[in-house]
Amino acid sequence: MRLFVAFWMLAAAARASEPTLVEAQAAAARHAAGTGADDADRTSRLRASHFAPTVRGELIGKTDDRTRRGEFRLAPLREDDAAQARTWGIVVTWDLAQLVYSREEGQLALAHQHLARVRREVAVQAARLWIERRQKCAALQKLSGPLRREASLDLLRVTAELDALTGGLYREALAEADGHLGEESR
């Protein structure tokens, strides 16, 4: 009986330390598509980048060695020419039309919409898994025997999916569920 009470107290303490639904959804959205603040940072960096000019530089070195031997108007001709040239140039350009609107802003806005949709979808999936995990935890307490083992495996699967979706938020709960499953199989 004492073991049974200790198990219930341990389960209640573990459940109290588990992430809430909001925390699980936020972790899943952050893991899948970053944060909304990252999107705003990308937009501000893009707009600020248009104020910087495009700088191009070029340096050309050319060496020309020519030797002419021959005859010109019945006189022998010997010329040894050596020439070196170095040319350099720097071009600085601003595209002032980009300050008003650039093509990249439209692409970035579309990418932000896609990331927001991914965040919503992942948050819904995390909520579904979180609720399913809670239901399986509650159902597991009422079962015994082979049904309990199968329910433990199912809880382990849901916890693993939730851990993968949230980027490791349920790592401890996953290890604990795996440990309980190992104890029950003995």
The string of pLDDT tens digits covering residues 167-182 is: 999 999 888 888 877 7
Rg of the chain over all Cα atoms, to the nearest angstrom: 35
Q: Looking at residue 6, what is its pLDDT?
A: 44
* The token pair that represents 87 in the structure block: 């040319």
Condensed to tens digits (0 to 9), the pLDDT of residues 55-99 reads: 899 988 888 777 777 777 777 777 777 788 888 999 988 887 777
**Amino acid letter, residue 17:** S
Grade residue 5 by pLDDT with cuts at 50, 70 and 90. very low
Condensed to tens digits (0 to 9), the pLDDT of residues 115-154 reads: 999 999 999 999 999 999 999 989 988 888 888 888 888 9
Q: Looking at residue 113, what is its pLDDT?
A: 93
* The token pair that represents 26 in the structure block: 């936020």
Cβ(62)–Cβ(84) below 8 Å: yes
pTM, entire model: 0.63
Q: Residue 63's beta-bridge partner residues?
A: 84
Q: Looking at residue 15, what is its pLDDT?
A: 53
Cβ(155)–Cβ(140) below 8 Å: yes
DSSP H helical segments within the chain, as ranges? 2-17, 21-33, 36-49, 97-100, 103-142, 146-166, 171-185
Q: Looking at residue 144, what is its pLDDT?
A: 83
Domain ranges of the chain: 2-51+97-185, 54-93
DSSP 50: T
CA distance 51 to 49: 5
Q: Looking at residue 4, what is its pLDDT?
A: 46
Query: Which residue shows structure tokens 């040239």?
Result: 85
**Amino acid letter, residue 100:** V
CA distance 156 to 144: 16
